[in-house]
Chain A
Amino acid sequence: DAGVIQSPRHEVTEMGQEVTLRCKPISGHNSLFWYRQTMMRGLELLIYFNNNVPIDDSGMPEDRFSAKMPNASFSTLKIQPSEPRDSAVYFCASSTRTGRGNYGYTFGSGTRLTVV
């Protein structure tokens, strides 16, 4: 398996522009997570899906952020309009429960977003 695949790896955009981050989870994993990492706030969970359904979006900072999971193999995180304070590394992770003692939680390589 290729692991969790995120694109792009780096994104530089101007303030006010729309940004879309993409994630392909590991095949067979039924939960998908979006995290944001900054120096000030560390790793924050933004939203997670279970079986393509959003379960908890309490970490989404504001209405400018939205996430979708149209099918089991693809998810997007969109920021519109983007602001400089959105600059961070955004991680996608996927997981599955396959019985006690065999719980997998795998991260993608992250997207470094810079908003100028």
Chain B
Amino acid sequence: AQTVTQSQPEMSVQEAETVTLSCTYDTSESDYYLFWYKQPPSRQMILVIRQEAYKQQNATENRFSVNFQKAAKSFSLKISDSQLGDAAMYFCAYLETYNTDKLIFGTGTRLQVFP
């Protein structure tokens, strides 16, 4: 069964600095999607960034980028120029491309941003 592991329960960063959140996953599939979701105190689950496994190029969305290492099954999220509004829980998630629509989540990383 596929699993997603986030080994950092909490992280902190100073405003304007850069922080990287780690995620590893386990799968025997070659084609899949990976996601990072943000959950602020409002509890809304917000899609931050999406990566397709067949694409070698790392996805980027403004200040958010990923480092996707398929062979190592690693999918880290880098937040540049951190802002106070980035403070939230961040969840890494895995989705098989063909056989199922089930999104499998990691346990989350709580990010604190200090002024």
Q: Which residues of A contact B (CB under 8 A)?
A: 31, 33, 42-43, 45, 48, 50, 55-56, 89, 91, 93, 95, 97, 100-101, 103, 105-107, 109-110, 112
Q: Are B43 and A110 in contact (CB under 8 A)?
A: yes
CA of A89 to CA of B103, assembled, Å: 17
A-B contact count (CB 8 A): 45
With A42-B108, A100-B52 known as contacts, the answer to whether A105 contacts B103 (CB < 8 A) is: yes
Q: Are B95 and A109 in contact (CB under 8 A)?
A: no
CA of A95 to CA of B50, assembled, Å: 14
With A42-B108, A48-B101 known as contacts, the answer to whether A105 contacts B44 (CB < 8 A) is: no
CA of A95 to CA of B100, assembled, Å: 12
Sampled A-B contacts (24; CB under 8 Å): A33-B101, A33-B102, A42-B105, A42-B106, A45-B102, A45-B104, A48-B101, A48-B102, A50-B101, A56-B100, A56-B102, A89-B43, A91-B45, A93-B45, A97-B101, A101-B52, A103-B33, A103-B50, A103-B95, A105-B47, A107-B37, A107-B44, A110-B44, A110-B45
